[in-house]
Structure 1
Amino acid sequence: MVNRLDQQISFIHCADLHLDSPFKGLSHISNQITDQVRESTFQAFNQMIELAIDKQVDFVLIVGDIFDQEEQSMKAHMTVIRGFRRLMENGIYVYLSFGNHDFMKSQTFPRNYPDNVFVFEKEQVEVFPFIKNAQVIANIYGFSYYNRAVENNMVPQYKIKGDVPFHIASLHGSLGNSNTDHANYAPFQLNELKKSAFDYWALGHIHKREILSDKPAIVYPGNIQGRSIKETGEKGCYHVTLSESGSVLEFCRLDQIQFRKVSLDAAEITDINEVMNIVEKQMELTLQTIDKVLLELTFVQAPDHFIKWDKEGKLVEMRELWNEQFSQQTNWAQILKIKIEKSRKIHEWQEGEQFLQQLQTTFAQSSDLEDIIEPLWYHVEGRKWLDQLAEEEQEELLSRAKEEVFYLLHESEESE
């Protein structure tokens, strides 16, 4: 029997690397910066490898979705192998599982990972030992997705095995009944994990970093690099130290580029030149704390003349000027999207109007733009101009359409 009082291990817990992420919706930024954005997941992965070496950890634990797509590129495949070889050269092990994006059945490349890598191959919970100084110091538990979805609760399969100092569970899944943008795969309840005898639950799948519990530690590290304006803020991994006294967690940034949402008050803006000055100052201020940033600007309390500037395309022209101006430097800022919130809310002038209420309901039910425009795909001329739309692009088009319809109706109402 190994005395736990004499033992300590440290490891990197990361998840949702999403190598090869396509980063759609970048049409408004320069090609040079687009290339940097597409490289960001690879750079974040390489930085994670160097972090593990600098911290001299015992192993790296990767909890699903290493790759973004079912069919991996040779670049993604080789980036992972080279990173794992670097870890092997430094005596660091890797324990990994595959998730809903890179599920086992979809993979075409032979993995050919070096001998320091242990892969959870099955859609049943397996156990790998971590051996240090000829002793088993920890058992590491996990499973991989064989198909795209795992819909059943996997927690009952996690059973403590062996008399070893530490037991670490890895689980790519969703906290049951949680309201997230992610599919509800391998759902679990928090009390199930808390009641278990595991020392650490390494979670994956949810891209928002969150510590669900301290004792035992139940942790979502989030993804290592934001991929859309829905994934704002710092991204990275946790450096975890386990000992007899418990767990110590240190968040370590890995992201190369950040997404940020910024709100600007437009209520007192009377001259369009003020817009230029306000936005430039905001971009300069943002770059004082972030090296590279993709922004969504929302002008709130926008008066009618501000909305008119937007309809005339002046804000779009300004965005091009801002993006060009702030791309000519090592640390840069780019505006992905500009949103307008009117000073008079839609609900304030639609109340009591049955037609407008029905229109609002119609927009609320129009969640899939692909279904709406499906007839165009069968039109001889129309389909020539269509591309598959990313989720963010669909949402933006629906939002713009809604704003335009209500704006025109509002204009008509006020002119009567």
Structure 2
Amino acid sequence: MVKFIHAADLHLDSPFKSRTKMPNSVLEVLMESTYNSVTRMIDFAIRESVDFIVLSGDIFDQSNRSLKSEIFLKQAFNRLREKNIFVYMIHGNHDPISSGFKTHWPENVAVFKENVETYEMMSRQGERIYLHGFSYLMDESYENKLDEYPTNTDNRGIHIGLLHGTYAKSKESVKRYTEFNLEALNSKLYHYWALGHIHVRNQLSDLPQIHYAGNMQGRHKNETGEKGFLLVQGDDVSLTTDFIATQEVIFENLTLQTETLRKESLYQHIVEFKEKLREDSKYIINLTIDYDGEDEISLTDFNELIELLQEDEVNVKQFVWIDNIKVSYNNKEQIALLNDIKKSYSNNDDLFREAVNTMYMDPNINRYLPSIGEISQQEMLEMGEERLKMLMRK
């Protein structure tokens, strides 16, 4: 039996987008979130006594790599060393070997070089493990070295391939480094492929097990949902995977349906929506308001709503930060037509008097109308608007 962790794309010190308008209380949590996600993984590895951890590239962010991130990771690896847990790591396009890493890792850490190589180890249960992989030398090169991976021909032990690259059929918007297809991976006869580069968790095959672990902490609105690593267990006959969440903050694009755009009611509706989310995690949200009526929210009310919702989250530990709000008008064509009619005719006094005179000249109508001197132009326009809305709904 073997038990190991597959993680990738830690991107320590990676910048976060849209952070300039966030309060310090939220920004500080974000800046520490990648570190906290890694700490959770290390805690889990020690608690569960895993045999080793594989890191499938982009551990650092080349242009933003700091001394802090290298010291932090070295300390984390030392914690694993004390528990006899090994680490096998490849470098990806964001942290290529050529970027000049000076850190000397503890002896429990093996870093693959630019040419494909194999490491061999024994699990706690006596299972022999073979790990195959390579690190990127340059950040802008197309380093497809799949042909250099050795084929498992002797049917001994568990073979694991580490690869930072792009699945040929992937629809994710990323640069396509080391593009591969499943046939190429299957031909190596490995038991597990630990992939990196795509920040979305995805299983490409179950026989053999081929997985993207995704990244461990979302960094912007396009990296949504829970993030973490995969716990892999089993033997040379069967391996299983379980996802373990590690993120500090969840990015989400969410939709909320509403029947009113009155700012007081809408504010309360969103507050209740946030409180339900707050029970699970910290969130940064792009919110779409799905509205099915004929009203519109003014720009003043809209800005006041966002400002108030964001003020509510300042210095809140378990924050639900609304980064942006979009109102989706399901009846936008009707609303546009109604606004056009109002703009064109509501201030035309001559047209109003002509319409009123026409009504009073009709004997089938005027008997039901009040005295012409009691007519309120504003009330008549509001009645007409309601009638138009009724007709549009039919």
Q: State the TM-score, normalizing by the size of structure 1.
A: 0.76
Partner SS for 2:122: strand
Partner SS for 1:129: strand
Unmatched tracts of structure 2, length 5 or more: 345-394
Residue of structure 2 in register with 1:385 after alignment = none
C-alpha contact (below 8 Å) 1:208/1:220 kept by paired residues: yes
Answer with 41-50 or 136-145: which moved more.
136-145
Residue of structure 2 in register with 1:49 after alignment = 42
Correspondence for 1:172 among 160, 164, 168: 164
The equivalences for 1:94-243 within 5 A come to 94-107=87-100, 109-122=101-114, 124-132=115-123, 137-151=128-142, 153-160=144-151, 163=154, 164-243=156-235
Aligned partner letter, 1:246: S
The equivalences for 1:347-362 within 5 A come to none
Residues 32-88 of structure 1 deviation map (CA, whole Å, 9 limit, x = unaligned): 121011100001111111111111011110000001233510110101100111110
Aligned partner letter, 1:243: D
Identical-residue share of aligned pairs (%): 33
Residue of structure 1 in register with 2:316 after alignment = 329
Residues 63-115 of structure 1 deviation map (CA, whole Å, 9 limit, x = unaligned): 000012335101101011001111101101110011111111123x4121011
Residue of structure 2 in register with 1:383 after alignment = none
Partner SS for 2:63: coil
Residue of structure 1 in register with 2:289 after alignment = 299
Q: State the TM-score, normalizing by the size of structure 2.
A: 0.80
* Distance in 2 between residues matched to 1:262 and 1:134, nearest whole Å: 45
- 1:81 and 2:74 equivalent? yes
* Distance in 2 between residues matched to 1:279 and 1:101, nearest whole Å: 39
Residues 139-189 of structure 1 deviation map (CA, whole Å, 9 limit, x = unaligned): 101111111134254322222368431110011111103211211111111
* Distance in 1 between residues matched to 2:78 and 2:273, nearest whole Å: 43
- The structure-2 alpha-carbon separation of the partners of 1:282 and 1:118, relative to structure 1 and needing over 3 Å to count, comes to same
* Distance in 2 between residues matched to 1:156 and 1:411, nearest whole Å: 65
| Aligned-residue RMSD, C-alpha | 2.6
- 1:260 and 2:252 equivalent? yes
Deviation of 1:334 after TM superposition, in Å, equals 0.7
Unmatched tracts of structure 1, length 5 or more: 1-7, 350-406
Residues 212-263 of structure 1 deviation map (CA, whole Å, 9 limit, x = unaligned): 1111100011101111111111110011113133101111111111112211
C-alpha contact (below 8 Å) 1:20/1:69 kept by paired residues: no
Residue of structure 1 in register with 2:65 after alignment = 72
Q: Which structure: larger Rg?
A: 2
* Distance in 1 between residues matched to 2:340 and 2:163, nearest whole Å: 55
- The structure-2 alpha-carbon separation of the partners of 1:304 and 1:147, relative to structure 1 and needing over 3 Å to count, comes to farther
Aligned partner letter, 1:334: W
Aligned partner letter, 1:22: P
- The structure-2 alpha-carbon separation of the partners of 1:61 and 1:412, relative to structure 1 and needing over 3 Å to count, comes to same
Deviation of 1:28 after TM superposition, in Å, equals 3.0
Residues 352-404 of structure 1 deviation map (CA, whole Å, 9 limit, x = unaligned): xxxxxxxxxxxxxxxxxxxxxxxxxxxxxxxxxxxxxxxxxxxxxxxxxxxxx
C-alpha contact (below 8 Å) 1:208/1:231 kept by paired residues: yes
Q: How many corresponding residue pairs?
A: 343
Aligned partner letter, 1:79: F
Residue of structure 2 in register with 1:244 after alignment = 236
C-alpha contact (below 8 Å) 2:51/2:124 kept by paired residues: no
